[in-house]
Structure 1
Amino acid sequence: MTPGARLFLRRAGIGVGQLVVLLVLVFALSLLLPGDAADVQNNTVLSAAQQQNARHLLGLDVSPVTRFLDWLGHAARGDFGTSYAGSADVGSVITSPFLVTGLLAVSALLVLVPVAVVAGFAAGLRPGSARDRVITSISIGFDSIPDFVLAVLLVTVVSLRLDLLPATFLGADLSTLVDRPEYLVLPLVVTVARVAAPLVRLIRAGVIDVLDQPYIAQARRLGVSRVSLLARHVAPNALAPAMQELGRTGDGLLSGVLIVEAVFAMPGIASELIGAIGNRDEPVILAIVAITGVIAIVVNAVIDLTGYWMNPRAAAQVRR
């Protein structure tokens, strides 16, 4: 088995274990909420028999452990069950919100990577210059501002005072994002700004470190062109550590997307999760956590493999 395959299997095994633990914790915490789905849906006064019947219809009259294991077994086969609110299939309930969240997350990633690479290289190629100081100052500034504070500032200035972009997604849906992409601009800026800041500084540090290596000086003495030097020698070695940071950044990107959705009232998975918690809708809550966890596992595994591919010397560590 190749070191890359061994790395993937190791990451996948750890990820599955983490996902199961996460689901257990989320389910246990949901049980601590006051009331259950039957109490929330039947806010009128019911007799004890009627309340018991409501719990039986929702499947709440069995033990929590049995309920969780039953859901987990069906989820492993791709069946996330039926929502307690409205009796709709959980898959149909969460599909549209996940598409909205996915659109924002993918758009943010497509903007994040080139912006971070270009800014990091621009600063690292001329350390100490005015350009370096400006880029570093901006990244530190964005890194120190919480997502929701930056979102409120942008809404206040860009939307309310200047009236340039929409301030909220109220009344909008997935089709609106496709037809009117200006709705996506402010959420995208907030999502990318905070996550890109540490990545820019890491790439900058990587570029500076690589340029100080003896083999770079030797390549210059041998007349290697600047473009070839950057593309074949500097970039792979400088970006390999950044790829590992991108894995951690991916988790921050996901949480940042959820915060941005809440601030801008986007009809994404964050809004659906908040509604499910309010309705004590266990199948929807667990399905959202499970799918989000799987996405995080896959993204981190891909990033680890990409970092390994860019830095073959990591194979020695994988064999241990």
Structure 2
Amino acid sequence: MLARFVLRRLVLGAGQVLVLVVLVFGLALLLPGDAADARGGDLFGEEQRAARRHVLGLDLAPVTRFLGWLGHVVTGDLGTSYASGEPVATVLAEPFAVTGLMAALTTVVLLPVAVSAGFAAGLQPGSVRDRVITTVSVVFDSIPDFVLSVLLVAYLAVRLRLFPATFLGVDVATMLAEPGYLVLPLIVMVARVAAPLVRLVRAGVIDVLAQPYICQARRLGVGGVSLLLRHVAPNALGPALQELGRTGDGLLSGVLIVEAVFVLPGVASALIQAIGDRDQPVILAIVLITGVVAIAVNTLIDLAGRRMVPQRGSS
């Protein structure tokens, strides 16, 4: 059953990614101009642009270009950038490293913060602690990303000079050597997704604690950490875990804003640059990779959810 579930999810995910790539390719065709126009600007004449289109293969039919790109992708070749002439894999290596680093750090910080705050509020509903945690989560959930980013930069970076205000000229090695660069972007990204997770964990804890089997466990002498870890946590964290898998879409817009405010050289910045350059191979590669990663992450989270909360009727 588990293998069938995974296979079904992977097949469905592959179809979704293919449809997404086709849609993005079609939408890119609607943009004014092409890579030859974007690179040549007003400096190239029509003959030079026509020659450039021929070199890039832009004079071929769109369907032919897409099928050719897809055929190379199947062999592991993401193509060549129209703008730089470098392999797309080389162009995207550092942006994906930066975004991957930020995503990993966000997850490492997010999970303990959201779970501990949700449990702290849910164990004593209606208390001062519960009201403070709930209020803080609502406030952070209500502040737009760009507003929070600008406020943090203006106060903590510019006024107090506690952290750097921008990533301009910074690479992955510098980020790791000087963690201060990561503090402000991490606050924004964690605040974006922590607030709803805290409320879901809180609601889950309150609901589980009211169940008859918890009362029975207490009557049998189970309490303290054992009760929380063995009986409360697996059932209370299920909805929050599913919500965590759905934060990818919300994080994308947040990453765009974070990268724009802090000049973070990640995938979102690379995508914006590729759109400006009409660099279709880079655009399609970003959509393909992020789509595959999203499908893989959601599948793993669904598997974790099935593991934590056994399905009814399962033996």
Please indicate the TM-score interval, normalised by the length of the shorter structure.
over 0.9
**What is the rounded CA distance, in whole Å, between the counterparts of 2:300 and 2:230 in structure 1?**
22
Match of 1:252 in 2: 250
TM-score (norm 1): 0.95
163-172 or 122-131: bigger deviation: 163-172
- Residue 176 of structure 1: how far off its partner (Å): 1.1
Partner residue, 2:110 = 112
Is the aligned partner of 1:242 residue 2:240?
yes
Determine the structure 1 residue equivalent to 2:15. Answer: 17
Separation in structure 2 between the aligned mates of residue 146 and residue 8 of structure 1, nearest angstrom: 36
When residues 314 and 293 of structure 1 are mapped into structure 2, their CA distance, relative to the original with a 3 A threshold, is: farther
Q: Does 1:289 align with 2:287?
A: yes
- Return the alpha-carbon distance in structure 1 between the equivalents of residues 102 and 313 of structure 2: 34
Deviations 1:163-194 (A, max 9, x none): 11111111211111011110000000000001
Please say if residues 122 and 131 of structure 1, whose CA atoms lie closer than 8 Å, have aligned partners that are also in contact: yes
Partner-residue secondary structure (3-state), 1:188: helix
CA contact (8 A) 1:105 1:257 kept: no
Amino acid at match of 2:76: G
**2:212 corresponding residue in structure 1:** 214
Structure 1 Cα separation of the partners of residues 145 and 45 of structure 2:
47
For residue 52 of structure 2, the aligned residue among 40, 54, 66 is 54
- 2:131 alignment counterpart: 133
Q: Distance in 2 between matches of 1:258 and 1:315?
A: 43
Tell me the matched-pair count: 315
Distance of 1:51 and 1:158 partners within structure 2: 48
Residues in 2 aligned to 1:299 and 1:187: alpha-carbon distance in whole angstroms: 22
Residue in 2 that maps onto 1:163: 161
- Tell me, yes or no, if structure 1 residue 195 matches structure 2 residue 193: yes
Runs of 5+ consecutive residues of structure 1 not aligned to the other structure: none
Q: Secondary structure at the match of 1:312?
A: coil
1:257 counterpart SS class: helix
Q: Distance in 2 between matches of 1:200 and 1:315?
A: 30
2:296 to 295, 298, 301: 298
Structure 2: segments with no counterpart, 5+ residues: none
Partner secondary structure for residue 246 of structure 1: helix
TM-score by length of 2: 0.96
| Distance (Å, rounded) in 2 between the aligned partners of 1:203 and 1:12 | 28
> How many Å separate the matches in 1 of 2:75 and 2:194?
37
Are 1:63 and 2:52 counterparts? no
Matches within 5 A, 1:34-49: 34-49=32-47
- Letter matched to residue 112 of structure 2: P
Give, in angstroms, the shift of residue 315 of structure 1: 6.6
Residue range with higher mean Cα deviation, 288-297 or 48-57: 48-57
**Per-residue deviation at 1:254?**
4.0
Task: Find the aligned partners of 2:253 and 2:73 in 1 and give their Cα distance.
Answer: 23
Q: Distance in 2 between matches of 1:45 and 1:170?
A: 29
Q: Distance in 2 between matches of 1:11 and 1:130?
A: 43
Offset of 1:45 from its aligned partner? 4.7
Secondary structure class of the residue paired with 1:313: coil
**CA deviations over 1:218-244 (Å, ceiling 9, x no partner):** 111111131111110000011112111
* Partner Cα separation in structure 2 for residue 262 and residue 22 of structure 1: 24
Matched AA of 1:97: P
Q: CA deviation at 1:149?
A: 1.2
| 2:172 counterpart residue number | 174
Separation (CA, whole Å) in 2 of partners of 1:18 and 1:264: 32
Q: Is the 8 A contact 1:251 1:296 kept in 2?
A: no
1:83-119 superposed Cα distances (whole Å, 9 cap, x missing partner): 0012101000000110001000110011111111100
